[in-house]
Amino acid sequence: MTMTGAEVNWFSEVSRLEPCNDGCFDAIVSSEWTIGDKPNGGYLLSLLGRAAVTLGVHPHVMAASAHFLHSPDPGPVKIETEVLRTGRSASQLAARLVQQGTTCVEALLTTTTIDAESSPYWDTGVPQPGLLSLEDCPRLVAASPGGVRVAIMEHVEVRLQPSSMGFTTGQPTGRGELRGWLALPGGEPFDPVSLLFAVDAFPPATFDVEFAGWVPTFELTVYVRALPAPGPLRILQRAQLVEGQKLDEACFAWDVRGRLVAQGTQLAGIRLG
């Protein structure tokens, strides 16, 4: 689907904050960045990340860990922050997302200044996906195989390697792994705040094993490893274990230069078996 400028649901708009008082911000959780009627967890964490860097101690989120207490409804929320420590090279903050007096997300964040000129000193070279070009990866549509409207997919461009698309026709591979591309609405460049969303943008990796309904995130941790170059991200998302109605997922995001820019890990609930 293509959009004209007027229709673009910009990430910078849906994650916009209005300072309300000391360390507190107002935000509107978009009804369009949802799965069914539930806002995406990484999107919620990105609101807390934006609050953390807006406070101005350090400009970039380096590590963020969120625990999810309640799924907020789309609409107005408050972001409350507390600076825990201001250091020379890194600072730590706590942030929470509150809706009508109920805490929905609680997060800890470490911020720093990421050097735009940094380069890898050592890396394993794996597991960067051997991906087809973006154009050769089909875009996911805004309806899950379960029939739920996934509004966020109308705006965010999730393109999957054809070999990862089996679940859309009831033929998952059983590997528990999804590879593909991710782009923000309107092609907006990624930054450390939107990377907090990026590692939670793909469908659950277990769709490649067995389709399940809503997979609510209990915990999401993100490490931002480099400032991303403009352009879409290559994503690898994979699961390791489903046990006790819980699933883990690791997510890796590389920019168009092939640089690892973010790593995410999450523990989520899942109804299988």
Contact residues: its own copies, CB under 8 A? 62-63, 65-67, 69-70, 84-85, 90, 92, 94, 103, 106-110, 114-115, 118-124, 126, 175-176, 206, 209-210, 218-219, 221, 223, 225-226, 238-244, 246, 248, 250, 252, 260, 263, 265, 267, 272-273
Tell the smallest beta-carbon distance from residue 97 to its own copies (Å).
Answer: 12
Residue 7 CB partners (closer than 8 Å, separation 6+): none
Tokens linked to 174: 């059983």
Q: Which is nearer to its own copies, 27 or 224 (CB)?
A: 224
Q: Which is nearer to its own copies, 29 or 105 (CB)?
A: 105
- Whole-number minimum distance, CB 192 to its own copies, in Å? 12
Closer residue to its own copies (CB): 160 or 212: 212
Distance (Å, whole) CA 219 – CA 203: 16
State the minimum distance, in angstroms, from the CB of residue 255 to its own copies: 13
User: How far is Cα 223 from Cα 265, in angstroms, rounded to an integer?
Assistant: 9
Pairing of strands 24-29, 75-86: antiparallel
Neighbours of 88 (CB within 10 A): 7
Rounded to whole angstroms, what are the CA distances from 98 to 31, 40, 95, 208? Answer: 17, 16, 10, 34
Closest distance to its own copies from the beta carbon of 81 (Å): 13
What lies within 8 Å, CB to CB, of 234 at 6+ separation is 128, 129, 131, 179, 180, 181, 253, 254, 255, 256, 258
Shortest CB 252 distance to its own copies, Å: 8
Query: Please, which residue, 176 or 232, has the CB nearer to its own copies?
Result: 176
Comparing CB distances to its own copies, the nearer of 158 and 220 is: 220
